[in-house]
Structure 1
Amino acid sequence: MVDFALRPSTAADVEAVAEIRARVMRPDLERLGRYDPHRVRQRLRDGFEPAHTWTVLVSGEVAGCVALRPEGDAYWLEHFYLVPALQGRGVGSAVLRGLLARCDAERATARLNVLAGSPAARLYERHGFAVESADAVDVFMVRPPSATAAVTAGRGA
């Protein structure tokens, strides 16, 4: 696996991660007939909340981002993008494990949506997410807190 670091995002990260989002999402958006080079970047800009976002760094360079936004008793996993060269190399799984451990410790459900047909859905399924609903464009997935974490938390561990 590639060595990486996570750091809290700042407003200054938005353009770099908007570019990464555009690169990562382009194949799926083109397949769905929905690619717009301005809109793909603007949607990230519009939803970017540094307080809930981490930037992925590899060799000191911005290589991705991920957000975990609280909503009620759940978290929404959002804006999870890694440059294509890092995909399939264990970085996404490592980042996801850390975020899900936080959800489990808080006994919080994790939710996300992914584009229909996106290979990213397999990553999420491997980490316990299941399809909650879907349409022609979006697949909404949910993962309840791990039963093991809930039992451990209940014992005061």
Structure 2
Amino acid sequence: MNTVDLRPATPDDLDFCFRLHQAAMGDYVAAVWGWDETAQRAYHRGKYRPHHWKIITVDGTDAGVLVVDHHATEDYLGLIELHPRYQGRGIGARILRSLLDAAARRGHDLVLDVLDVNPRARAFYLRHGFHEEGRHGENGHKIRMRAPLRTATTTATTPPRPDH
């Protein structure tokens, strides 16, 4: 089994995070908005907050990014992206279980948005107990999904708690 960890992002991770986003989400972004390299770099630079982002490492190699916002009654999974070479290996599921457990410890639901042009991600979240709440965004391209509060089930096989 791979060792999955989280490390704080740094300003030096900006380019890695952009290239990761392009590899993991580029086709979906292109399908909804079109991919304009200059506009995408500017958008990414504007939303990048290294003090708030976590880099997902697999066996010591940077493999993804995670952003979670903690609100009064729910946790919002703002971003979870794994490079395609790390997808389909159970890594995302391990991280998601850890996030669900952390939200449960706080008495929160876990909420996220998924693009409607990404049926693989939508199916992944449905398999993990999320349900669809509705659509929003321009042309309704985003689907709001929620996993209701559950009992924490953290085991030794889950990665470090993402709330640290």
Aligned partner of residue 3 in structure 2, secondary structure: coil
107-116 or 7-16, larger mean C-alpha shift = 7-16
* Contact 1:2/1:90, CA 8 A, preserved across alignment: no
* Contact 2:131/2:145, CA 8 A, preserved across alignment: yes
Pair 1:34–1:71, CA change in 2 (3 A): farther
Match in the other structure for 1:133: 134
Letter in 2 for 1:130: H
Q: What is the RMSD of the two structures over their aligned residues, measured on CA atoms? A: 1.9
Match in the other structure for 2:50: 50
Aligned partner of residue 79 in structure 1, secondary structure: strand
Match in the other structure for 2:83: 83
Task: For residues 35-63 of structure 1, give each alpha carbon's deviation from its aligned partner in whole angstroms, at most 9, with x where no partner exists.
Answer: 22233343333223334322111243211
* Contact 1:56/1:63, CA 8 A, preserved across alignment: yes
TM-superposed deviation, 1:117: 2.5
TM-superposed deviation, 1:33: 4.7
Structure 2: stretches of 5+ with no match in the other structure: 153-164
Structure 1: stretches of 5+ with no match in the other structure: 150-157
Mapped partners of 1:41, 1:92: distance in 2: 25
129-138 or 91-100, larger mean C-alpha shift = 129-138
Match in the other structure for 1:153: none
Aligned partner of residue 14 in structure 2, secondary structure: helix
Letter in 2 for 1:99: L
Aligned partner of residue 18 in structure 1, secondary structure: helix
Pair 1:71–1:46, CA change in 2 (3 A): farther
Q: Which has the higher helix share?
A: 1
* Contact 1:114/1:138, CA 8 A, preserved across alignment: yes
TM-score, scaled to structure 1: 0.83
TM-score, scaled to structure 2: 0.79
Q: Percent identical across equivalent pairs?
A: 28
Count of aligned positions = 148
Mapped partners of 2:38, 2:85: distance in 1: 23
Matched, 1:61 2:61: yes
